[in-house]
Structure formats: C-alpha cells, structure tokens
A = this chain, B = another copy of it.
Amino acid sequence: MSDQPQMDFQASLAARAREVETVLADLLDARAETGEITRPERLLAAMRHGVLNGGKRLRPFLVVETAALFTRSADLLDAARRVGAALECIHCYSLIHDDLPAMDDDDLRRGQPTVHKAYDEATAILAGDALVTLAFDAITSDRTALDPLAKVRLVSGLARAAGIGGMAGGQALDLAAERDAPDEAGIITLQAMKTGALIKFACEAGAITGGAGAAQVEAMGEYGAAIGLAFQLADDILDATASTEALGKRAGKDAQAGKGTLVALHGLDWTRKQLIGLVDQAEALLAPHGIRAATLRAATRFIATRES
C-alpha cells in the first residue's frame, strides 16, 4: 500500500474531527439548555478538558461516514454529526473514569494531564457522569433533526453499548483481568465489550441516522464489530511496541499490569495476521457500497495500521 491513500484519509479524518468539534463545543457551551438551572463553571471546564483535547474523533467519523453511505440529505448528515458527538461524549467520559486512581491510575492522556490531575478526583468523576447524560441530551434534543423513533433506537443502542453489557462491563472485566488471567475467549469478550461495543454501535448508529433498513443496519454492525476488534488488536500491538512519547500515554502498561492480551498469548506475527483477516472481512462488508465506501475503506486500513 502506498502512503498517498493514508495521507488523504488523515486529511478527511481531520476535516470530520473539526466538524464534530464544533458540535462538541456547542454542547459544552456555558449557556444552560431548557430544563437546566445553571452550568457550574469548574465542572464545565473539566468536561471541556476531557473532551476538547485533540482526539482523533474516530467514533463520530464512523457515524458520519456510515450515514453518508445511505443518505445525501444535509439535515441527516447534520444529525449524524450530533449523534457522533454524543458517542464522543461517551468515549471521553470512559477515558476520564478509566484514568482515575481507583481504575488505571493514569496521569497523562494525549500528552496532557488527565482530568483528575488537572482538576481533582471528585470533579473528574462528576465530569464523566455529566458527559453521559449530555450524550443522551444531544441525541434527543430538538436540534437533532431525526424522527422520534430513530432517536429512541439510538438512545437504546447507545445505552446498551455503553452499559454493563458493553463498555462499562468491559472495563470491569479489564480491571479483573489482573487477577483472573482470562483465556483467549475471555480476552475476546473483554475487548468486544470494552472498546468493540461502542465502535460497532457507531456504525449501526450511522446506518440508523442515514435511514438504512434493518438488514443494512445489521451489516454495518458486523463491519463495526470487525474494525472494533481490529482497533483493539492494533492497540495491543502498539502497547507492546511503541514508546510512551509516540503514544502520548504510558506504553507497555498492559504487560506491566500482567493483563493478558492476544499479543501476549500468540505473539506479534499471529496478531498481525489476524488483523489482515479482519480488514478483509470488513472490506467484504463494504463491497456492496462500491465507490461510496472509499473513505470507510481507507478508515479500515488506518485502524489496522495506525501508529498512535
């Protein structure tokens, strides 16, 4: 693969990130929404610190690009950016809570102090809490131009992807992994929940927002599951090989914590081969969309080969 498609992809990822950051900044505005009393400054600042921090915005990207497979309506693509911003609020809340001393105890995130370091633990807990509800507010807001049934499906799907049977449950399994030493099936379940569920749902959410039928929502969910697993394998490879400086967060921490990964179980070569298999599987799911899926195709390769 030449470097050109990757450079083009980086540019479109960055362009989408700027669009969604406009929505995120608007959601994190100082003005209270209808039904709110007032927005305490320090808590809002902590939420902004945890969200407006130069993330790649991969989940919003997947929502918007998947929606774009099914619609060209400016209103629906605008709604997709808002839904994407909601998923990013959930992703950022999970990072804020995962970084807490009682969890992974990290001081550094994307090269910056984590929220509990920049503020304090109580504020970091509350900033995460308030980002969860902000996500559901963003989806159901009058400003999100979707019919009520689509909003209900999005809230339900996001709640389940982020909850005990998804992301939060995955983090619980991850914390237990230090003592439990899960086997291969356990590791795959853990990863499918901790990072996979929200990435999978990003693709389903894009399809729902774009007005896709049930079979197409399901197919995009399969695509999302494949790239979610690929994303995690790439993360495990990075954790085993990259420097703290390149990652902007502490490297090698999984190995230090004695946590099982597929890399530790099967080695780097096996894991890289698995990655290639997942990329093939993901690309097959995009095939029916032809040229319209060019950006998602580049995203698939980016996820599997990223260096930070």
- By a beta-carbon cutoff of 8 Å, the part of chain A in contact with chain B is 32-40, 42-44, 47, 93, 97, 100, 102-103, 120-123, 125-126, 128-130, 132-134, 136-137, 139-141, 147-149, 151-153, 155-166, 168-169, 171-173, 175-176, 189, 192-193, 197, 201
B43 and A133 form a contact (CB under 8 A): no
Give Cα distance in the complex from A43 to B172, angstroms. Answer: 7
Residue of B nearest to A200 (CB): B35
B43 and A126 form a contact (CB under 8 A): no
A38 and B137 form a contact (CB under 8 A): no
Give Cα distance in the complex from A108 to B164, angstroms. Answer: 25
B122 and A38 form a contact (CB under 8 A): no
**Chain B contacts of A164 at CB under 8 A?**
36, 39-40, 43-44, 47, 130, 133-134
A168 and B102 form a contact (CB under 8 A): no
Q: A36-B166, A42-B176 are in contact. List 10 more A-B contacts (CB 8 A).
A: A37-B197, A40-B172, A43-B172, A44-B164, A93-B129, A102-B122, A125-B125, A126-B171, A141-B156, A152-B155
B35 and A160 form a contact (CB under 8 A): yes
**Also in contact, A39 and B169, with CB within 8 A (given A100-B125, A122-B102, A128-B129):** yes
Contact partner of A134 among B42, B93, B159, B201, CB < 8 A? Answer: B159
CB distance from A207 to the nearest CB of B (A): 14
**Chain B contacts of A34 at CB under 8 A?**
160
Contact partner of A172 among B42, B103, B128, CB < 8 A? Answer: B42
A125 and B137 form a contact (CB under 8 A): no
**Chain B contacts of A136 at CB under 8 A?**
136, 155-156, 158-159
**Chain B contacts of A159 at CB under 8 A?**
133-134, 136-137, 140
Give Cα distance in the complex from A100 to B126, angstroms. Answer: 11
Contact partner of A36 among B32, B147, B151, B165, CB < 8 A? Answer: B165
CB distance from A155 to the nearest CB of B (A): 5
B165 and A129 form a contact (CB under 8 A): no
B141 and A43 form a contact (CB under 8 A): no
Give Cα distance in the complex from A39 to B166, angstroms. Answer: 8
Residue of B nearest to A90 (CB): B133
CB distance from A225 to the nearest CB of B (A): 10
Contact partner of A129 among B32, B132, B152, B153, CB < 8 A? Answer: B132
A193 and B125 form a contact (CB under 8 A): no
Closest 5 CB pairs of A and B: A36-B165, A102-B121, A133-B163, A148-B148, A140-B156
A125 and B102 form a contact (CB under 8 A): yes
**Chain B contacts of A192 at CB under 8 A?**
37
**Chain B contacts of A193 at CB under 8 A?**
37-38
Give Cα distance in the complex from A144 to B139, angstroms. Answer: 19
Contact partner of A189 among B38, B137, B189, CB < 8 A? Answer: B38
CB distance from A100 to the nearest CB of B (A): 7
Residue of B nearest to A169 (CB): B40
B165 and A140 form a contact (CB under 8 A): no
Residue of B nearest to A162 (CB): B133
